Chains A and B, each alone.
Chain A
Amino acid sequence: MLDFTKLMKFEAKIVVVDDILLDGEVARALISKEFAKKLGINKSGFIKIIRNNSVCFEVKVSEFADGVDVVLPSGYFSAKLHGMDKVFLAEVEKCESADTIS
């Protein structure tokens, strides 16, 4: 059956924070339960955030993202999106894989 959630884009409120520990070579993020449901993500999945450059994040559905749609750890990947603004709106869609450092 065709997964229609793959074709859907949503506007999300995104916050970049210094103080979450999600280091690693794969782009990772936290996502609120409500927003994950909208995108059709159950426990974990991948999202693409589109703003200036499009960056793909592996996301874990987590209640830590309460209050905003997506929380990104500051770092190499999120820096591609935010510039000096750490709170911003961007389009988000479901995708198949996350970016890695190579």
Chain B
Amino acid sequence: MRVVCTACSCLCDDVLVKDKVYHACRKGFKLIKGEREETSINGEKSSLEESIKVARDLIDGKKLLIFGLDNTTCEAQEVALKIAKDFEATILDHSFIYNIQEFLKLPSIKLEKFRDEGYVSIFWGSNPHNSMPRLLSRFIYYPRSGKRQKGYEEDRFLVVADLRKSETAKIAEKSKSGLFIKIDNDYELIKSFIRVIEGKACKYLEVAKVLKELEKAEINAIFGGGGLLRNLKDAKLFKELIEKTGVYFVPTLNKANHRGYIEMMIKKTGFLAYDFKEDTNLSKDKILNAFKDCDVALIVASDPLRTLPYELSKILTEKKLIIINSLKSIIAKITKSVVISTEISPFSGGSMIRCDGVKVQIERQSEKVSDLDVLKMLMEV
């Protein structure tokens, strides 16, 4: 059967699952063939109905925190938001680590259009070799498509700006049609671009070559990863760079439906984290308190011990937890919690938003309960 892989926000729709898994990258393979979570209560196997009942009893009348959601479908995210409203809970995902809201307002481009017409791709604080392994081969650097039939030999130019020489940086450095800029400070690189455009001297001399390459085509893009999004306090200077160079911006968020969560939250609440009890936005400085104050945490499709700073993840391990997840997670292993196993999203049906903002439909291929089903059951029981 043909499935949409949800291992990263590339959302590849050409993955075949038969006796073997075809076309998937190693992240996709790990998702599809990875060891599944088992439904349990405090480490002992239980039925779905029993776990849902215990989970609901835990939630009722308690201060609830809903966390995760970046790897689940848009439909499940909406039900989670409804639960947050109904139970006056706090809802948040990983977005507070990044400064992403401002970046999503920048002019963006669909990956298919970039595949057909794009020339310069600048990966800034991003290492797609590991975070989105098929991005370069499907859309950015290697494809021969549309106006770019000569592929990476002549029709593409890859720039990697990073503070370490990542695998992608090595590709750029070795290639005749590529360039690696080793940076210490993101602001300095932005300033270098702006200064060269204004005809002034700058810190990073490679910028002049990049600007020369940008002039060769109309469609060029910056693919900003966690390194860029986390380090820039605001997008003002970066916006100026985008305006002056005329390049597009695509966030390379590696969590499958991170963009879906952000778009839903901005549309429905105006903020990325929200406390429905206080009916207010949860700013960065209040997040630690939100973790401390909650009685129960509902974790959906996430492993906070892998992704959150220790100050926060440590607090979670001391709380009562309800974990809705498909693959084995560290948090389920080391805590006594209610774990509800669900089908992985490539088989569970629904929709997700790709990193460039395109909505991708996922066909339901399995009868096993999905994150959406479990969240609905939690509401209705």
Contact = CB atoms under 8 A, between A and B. Distances in A.
B310 A67 contact: no
B163 A19 contact: no
Contacts of B381: none
Contacts of A68: 163-164
A38 interface: no
B257 interface: no
Interface stretch (B72-80, B84-92, B222-230): B222-230
Contacts of B164: 15, 17, 64-68, 71
B165 A66 contact: yes
Contact of A83 (B27, B130, B230, B309): B309
Contact of B311 (A23, A83, A102): A83
A11 B94 CA distance: 31
Interface in B161-192: 162-167, 182
Contacts of A83: 309-311
Interface stretch (A1-9, A40-48, A74-82, A88-96): A74-82
Interface stretch (B59-67, B271-279, B300-308, B346-354): B300-308
Interface residues of B, number: 33
Interface string B218-249: 00000001110011000000000000000000
A75 B306 contact: yes
A81 B330 CA distance: 18
Nearest to B126: A19
Given A17-B164, A19-B126, A76 B309 contact: no
B131 A18 contact: yes
Contact of B27 (A21, A65, A74, A86): A21
A19 B227 CA distance: 10
B313 interface: yes
B26 interface: yes
B306 A76 contact: yes
Given A19-B225, A83-B310, A87-B163, A76 B330 contact: yes
Nearest to B98: A18
Interface in A1-56: 15, 17-21, 23, 25
Given A67-B164, A68-B164, A101 B334 contact: yes
B308 A79 contact: yes
Contact of A21 (B130, B162, B163, B305): B130
B130 A20 contact: yes
B292 interface: no
Nearest to B132: A19
A80 B310 contact: yes
Contacts of A15: 163-164
A19 B226 contact: yes
B77 to A, nearest CB: 21
Given A21-B26, A75-B305, 9 more contacts: A18-B225, A19-B128, A19-B166, A74-B306, A74-B307, A75-B307, A76-B330, A81-B310, A101-B334
27 contacts: A17-B227, A18-B225, A19-B126, A19-B127, A19-B128, A19-B254, A20-B127, A20-B166, A21-B26, A21-B27, A63-B165, A64-B165, A66-B165, A67-B163, A67-B164, A67-B182, A68-B164, A75-B306, A75-B307, A76-B305, A79-B309, A79-B310, A81-B310, A83-B310, A86-B230, A86-B231, A101-B333
Interface of B: 26-27, 97, 126-131, 162-167, 182, 225-227, 230-231, 254, 305-311, 313, 330, 333-334
Interface of A: 15, 17-21, 23, 25, 63-68, 71, 74-76, 79-84, 86-87, 101-102
* Top 4 A-B residue pairs of the complex, sorted by shortest distance between their CB atoms: A19-B131, A66-B165, A79-B310, A67-B164
